[in-house]
């Protein structure tokens, strides 16, 4: 995040007062989740082609039963490739620094939850019908290299 600061400043990110309204923050976060999920889906699906899976994405799939920390366990090329999905929304909108921090925090919490291996009573999949959660992503990891689907990061509609 620190290394990307000049890039985000160039793209219009603000870091001074006043803070954005909660409506602006909420609308940007929703936009980021939808855009990130769309871009991540296609990038993740590409990573499941034979060559990229064998040489890059198989590192992330070393754990057939994922746990929280494995969400960030990946080949460096995959981190850069799929990390693009996370930063494209903020790069387009030039958010306030607070919004960017909130987005990055929510994104990391979401990916850790999806890889935690547990379906908690407070899991978002209990409240949001299109949210994938741990059950959705566990299925993807159990099948290793297949065309199993479940490539999305957050929502399930792209995999339908």
pLDDT in tens, 69-80: 777 788 999 998
Q: Give the up-direction half-sphere exposure of residue 103: CA atoms within 13 A in the CB hemisphere.
A: 29
Q: Which pTM was predicted?
A: 0.88
User: 53 exposed, middle or buried (CB, 10 Å; 0-12, 13-18, 19+)?
Assistant: middle
For the segment 83-122, what is each residue's pLDDT rounded down to a tens digit? Answer: 899 999 999 999 999 999 999 999 998 888 888 878 888 8
């Amino acid at each position: 995040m620190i290394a990307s600061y000049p890039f985000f400043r160039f793209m219009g990110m603000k870091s001074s007062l006043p803070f954005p309204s909660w409506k602006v923050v909420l609308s940007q976060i929703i936009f980021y989740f939808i855009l990130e999920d769309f871009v991540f889906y296609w990038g993740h699906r590409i990573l499941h082609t034979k060559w990229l899976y064998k040489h890059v994405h198989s590192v992330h799939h070393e754990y057939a039963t994922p746990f929280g920390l494995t969400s960030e366990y990946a080949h460096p090329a995959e981190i850069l490739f799929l990390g693009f999905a996370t930063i494209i929304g903020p790069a387009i909108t030039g958010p306030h620094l607070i919004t960017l921090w909130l987005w990055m925090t929510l994104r990391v919490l979401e990916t850790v939850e999806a890889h935690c291996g547990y379906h908690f009573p407070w899991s978002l999949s209990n409240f949001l019908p299109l949210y994938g959660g741990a059950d959705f992503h566990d299925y993807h990891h159990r099948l290793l290299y297949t065309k199993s689907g479940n490539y999305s990061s957050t929502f399930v509609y792209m995999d339908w």
